[in-house]
Structure 1
Amino acid sequence: MSTPTDQVVIITLQHQLTAARASGDRVAECEALGNLGIVYYQGEQWQEAIATFTDYLNLAKKLGHQWQEGIAYYYLGYTYRAIGELAQAVDAFCAAYSLSRQFGNQDVFLPVWEQLNESVEVYLSKKEPEFLNRLLPHPAILTSLLGYVYALSFLRDRTREVIRRVGNFGSEHVLCT
């Protein structure tokens, strides 16, 4: 929830955004949009965050700032995930992951990769085939995620086999159910 302090920060950032637009400083406008979106996100003002991050994304694209474009997708993914819109979150995370990999930024792509993995598990548990359709435009990500899922399944099966061979040594030692 938004606090009075958040409201002061939002007003300050809105003034910065207005000033940047008035002066035609597109780079400052882009920065202000990103910062404003983060404050909306932190204050759980989801619709404002989505609208602001979308404006941030569109401006970053116009400016050719792929780094900021990746950050916009990153925050859009988290915002969509927070409101339960997993399909949009997956789309945003895929775009963020692809862009952040180009820059070799592990601070961004590793958390995004974790979010994609969690989304895979949610989709698989719900047996929603649309998930794979969302990943078809991203063959490298799809291949990696399916490899990840296969590896987890393989490890779970091997662990069960080892437990069977060793014998039942107490429920406190069971690794997989």
Structure 2
Amino acid sequence: MKPIVGIIMGSDSDMQVMKEASDILYYFGVPHEVTIVSAHRTPDRLYNYAREAKDKGIRVIIAGAGGAAHLPGMAAALTSLPVIGVPVKSSGLSGIDSLYSIVQMPGGVPVATVAINGAKNAAILATQILAVSDEKLYSSLENYKKELEDFVMKKVEELEK
């Protein structure tokens, strides 16, 4: 099946965080691809990836980056597809630098931004975007949220015992 979500990251050191996005997309059965696209070291690759994504069938891009974290913003500048940015925790500033780089986009070039290392939520958000036009996927999300509720209620019961 052709991927409809693209997961991109600045380097393979981001994979530990971004794997959570892939795991969630697998859970929901959302076809996706994962690759490295560095905004600073491979700008032509970034340009080509973002410009060609829609024609390849990609409908949402999840972009994880640490440090200066230009990848999500540059991807959003190059495509009209929704881009979800994942600030990856860096050793220097604990991911605050990445968060600020991603969340402070200029008007007209939005990047939906999740928490530092929030790749799981990025994938859930991507799934929610896709579910707007996919009833089966929407139903799967409803079931997922019910499972979350059941998990918490089980913990409540255990605590009350």
More relative contact order in 1 or in 2 (CA 8 Å, sep 6+)? 2
| TM-score normalized by the length of structure 2 | 0.34
Structure with greater proportional strand content? 2
Structure with greater proportional helix content? 1
